[in-house]
Each structure stands twice: as structure tokens, then as C-alpha cells.
Copies of this chain bind each other. A is one copy, B any other.
Amino acid sequence: MATISSSLLLKTPTKIQFLPKTHFTTPLNLPLPTRFTSKKNGSSSGSIGSGTRIRSGLLIEPDGGKLVTLLVEESQRELKKEEGFKLPQIKLTKIDIEWVHVLSEGWASPLKGFMRESEFLQTLHFNSIRIENGSVVNMSVPIVLAIDDEKKNQIGGSTSVALVDDENNPIAILSDIEIYKHNKEERIARTWGTTAPGLPYADKAITHAGNWLIGGDLKVIEPIKYHDGLDRFRLSPAELRDEFTRRNADAVFAFQLRNPVHNGHALLMTDTRQRLLEMGYKNPVLLLHPLGGYTKADDVPLHWRMKQHEKVLEDGVLDPETTVVSIFPSPMHYAGPTEVQWHAKARINAGANFYIVGRDPAGMGHPLEKRDLYDADHGKKVLSMAPGLERLNILPFRVAAYDKTKNGMAFFDPSRPQDFIFISGTKMRTLAKNKESPPDGFMCPGGWKVLVEYYDSLAQAENGRVSEPVSV
């Protein structure tokens, strides 16, 4: 493996980050893309190459027709880094870095950097952006970088800035910059449909951020890594496309999640594949795509979720042959109908042409009132009407619940409601915290055990005991 790694390093420098490292603290037994197990690597050419090209053509086109990648050529990295040391510097927050990651790999294609004002305004007002050829791409969530008055003054007349990490190491260069006003209230109101204090992302990344936004063309010096043992699951849209092509997928259905997987989810995913087969697709592949960026404090952290997903897959609930597990690097907004568009749009760029949308996607409780912030059906409705997403097939979630007559999760049958139990996220958390078991068949025992362990680790931390650090 080390030999292959080295040869890959020379041939396809931007890809080495995804090769498994032996020193991972928690090796997970999740189905890796075939590229990590097959002898054929991305650079193989000849007859395979041309075959690949043809199969590639079956995947949905990225927004704007071409997948954006904003990584500096390896030969230019040192040069760019040096340039970065000479430019005015902007220190990135953790969330900023997640957005740099998102942008660098083209999840937001055709965006080529942090938004300038015209892109920001179109996002806020139209949830879509008109591109040069006159067509419209979806873009519902502002991908912007805030700076304060002092930083703005410091930048002065410079046309480029360096984006640096905590230790002032240049991560990226932003050039041909544009600085414009950051009207936070308006941004929050138009993105969330409320300005109530207590929106997690707003509290974390907007309210205390600077009064200016800086947009421009981004060039990222090195692939973004987190060194948390999960980097190998962070496949870029290009890598996912390669993977789907290698698997001869003729349909890719994406399932976005930020919660543990229970058997209702599994049922839905299996059922979706079945429906796609019935529609005539020969090889529908599932992209099981947990969100890996910022999440609010009471969500289960990524690391624990990945452990839980591993158990679920081990249990055979999902077929590894037709499932790709990967991490979506975006931070979470909890902006309901606005955000679900982003979640769907990004998956088009990764090659998905089907998107499963659930009840109240990207939703949460209202920060001040005793109700959900969004109507549970609005996400699905808005998604199905969203500009720029016409090419994507929206698959509404069928409601699954615990069927007492079957001792397992099943699609809810409204003719016999008395047979079903709905197990809410809150209920699930309460059970896991109290180390109680859910009804048999709700979740595979291995997966449940992970959740119990997670809540146990939280309780121990609260009791002042040293606990395993939790990755976010």
C-alpha cells in the first residue's frame, strides 16, 4: 500500500490525502471506495481511461458544466505560500476553514471563491445565481468571509489577501478582492426567516463577526485536512464521481444526514434503491453522506456518528456493494428550506441525480417559541420548486415508524395508526442517556451501543471525569 501511495503521490498529488494512514487512532470498518482496495488508480489510462470517460458521461453534470477545483498546483505551492506571507492576512475560524474546504473541492461549483456582493445579494434574494452563459444555478446559503473594520483598514488598497490558520500559516490566497458591507440582520433574516437570538450558526459565526464581507477568487495552497482519523472519508466531488463511475452507477441517490442512522433510515434507503431498480436503473448507488462540518452542541459529534454508521453497516442493514459512505465537509446552518437547497445542490456536484428529502430537513426548534422553526413540509416543497435544481430528482421521504406488529421499522400505514410508535430524536436521546434500550428492531444493537457510549462519555465529562476528546 505504501508503494502505491508513493506512486500516487507523484502522479496525482491532490489525491493522496484520502489514502488510509496506519496511525489512525480509530480505524473504522466502513466500506471504502474501491479505489482504496482496487489496484487501478485514478491515473490509469488506456482502454480503461476511455471507458471511464464514457461512463462519466452518465453522471449528472456539475453546476456550471465544470467541476471547480481551487487547489494550487503542487509545483506552485511553495511559491503561493511565500506570497501568502507577504500579503495582508486574515485569520480563519474553524467554520471559515470548513468553507474554504467546501469551495476548494467544488461543492459550490461554479463558485470560485468567497462570494462577492453580487453573488451574496442573489443568494439572499433569489437563492440562485445567474452565471455567465445566462443559465441559473442554485445557491441558497451565503458562503462569505467576514472581516472587521480594523482588518479592512489594514488591507487598504491591496487586491489580494492571505487566509491563514491559527498559527498564521497561509492556507489560501484570495485575489481580486471585493469588500462590502455585512448587514448581519438582513443576512440572518433572509437566510433563516427569523432574527430570533439563539440560532446556532448565527450565534457562532455571524453575530460577533466583522461588519464587512470580503469576496474574491480563492486558491487553496494545500488540501484541507483535519487529522482526526476521518480524512480518508472526506472524498471530494471529483473523487466521488470517479467512484460512482468505477462502480458503473447509472443512478446516484444521496442521503444527507447529521444524526445516527436507525432502521427506518435503512429501510428508506433500501426501498429507494428498489424503486430505482423498478424504474429501470441497473445499478443505483447510495451516497450515504453525513455532514462533517460545524454542528450545534446537542447534535451527536461526527466522530461518534461515523462509529455508529460503521456498526449499522457491519450489521448488514445496508449493502456495502451499493453504498458509498463519505463525509460532506459543509458546516450546518439549520436554515430549513433555505439550507436543504444547498445540501441538494452540493450533491449534484458530487454526481448525485436523486436526492432523498425528509420531514423538516435542516430544521430545528424555534429558538424562542415552543414550535418548530419551519413547517415540516416546506423543505420538500421549496426544494421541489427551487431554481437551478430542475435536473435533480427529489425523492420525498416516506414516513417510517416502529411497527409493533412486526417488531421493526416499517413505512407508516395510516389505516392502522395504533400499530405504530414514533420515536423522536428527543425520545432516542433520552433512552440512550438513561442507558435504556429502544424497542427491538429500531436500531441494530451495535449502533445503539455507540450512542449509549457517547452519552455516557458526556455524562462522565459533566461529572468532572476525564473523557475522550470529542471531535467536532
Contacts and interface: CB of A to CB of B under 8 A. Distances in A.
A349 interface: no
28 contacts: A121-B337, A121-B381, A121-B382, A122-B385, A125-B127, A125-B140, A125-B337, A125-B338, A125-B382, A125-B386, A126-B386, A126-B387, A130-B387, A181-B375, A183-B193, A183-B375, A185-B194, A185-B196, A186-B194, A189-B189, A189-B190, A189-B192, A189-B193, A189-B194, A190-B190, A190-B193, A194-B195, A195-B195
A193 to B, nearest CB: 4
A326 to B, nearest CB: 28
Nearest to A373: B186
A387 B337 CA distance: 19
A209 interface: no
A378 interface: yes
Chain A interface mostly: helix
Given A190-B193, A195-B194, A126 B385 contact: yes
Contacts of A128: 126, 387
A118 interface: yes
Counting contact residues on chain A (CB < 8 A from B), the size range is 20 to 34
A379 to B, nearest CB: 10
Interface string A105-143: 000000000000110011011111010000010001000
- A-B pairs with the 6 shortest C-beta distances? A186-B193, A189-B189, A189-B193, A195-B195, A190-B193, A125-B127
A382 B122 CA distance: 7
Interface string A359-386: 0000000000000001100100110011
Given A189-B193, A194-B195, 19 more contacts: A117-B381, A118-B385, A121-B337, A121-B385, A122-B385, A124-B193, A125-B127, A125-B140, A125-B337, A126-B126, A126-B385, A185-B194, A186-B194, A189-B189, A189-B192, A189-B194, A190-B190, A190-B193, A387-B387
Contacts of A124: 193
Interface string A157-201: 000000000000000000000000101011001101111100000
Query: What is the oligomeric copy number?
Result: 2
Contacts of A190: 189-190, 193
Contacts of A126: 126-128, 385-387
Interface centre among A130, A185, A196, A338 (most CB of B within 10 A): A185
A117 to B, nearest CB: 7
Contacts of A378: 121
A122 to B, nearest CB: 6
Contacts of A181: 375
Nearest to A337: B125
Contacts of A118: 381, 385
Contacts of A385: 118, 121-122, 126, 130
Contacts of A127: 125-126
Interface string A65-86: 0000000000000000000000
Contacts of A193: 124, 183, 185-186, 189-190
A385 B337 CA distance: 22
Nearest to A378: B121
Interface string A310-349: 0000000000000000000000000001100000000000
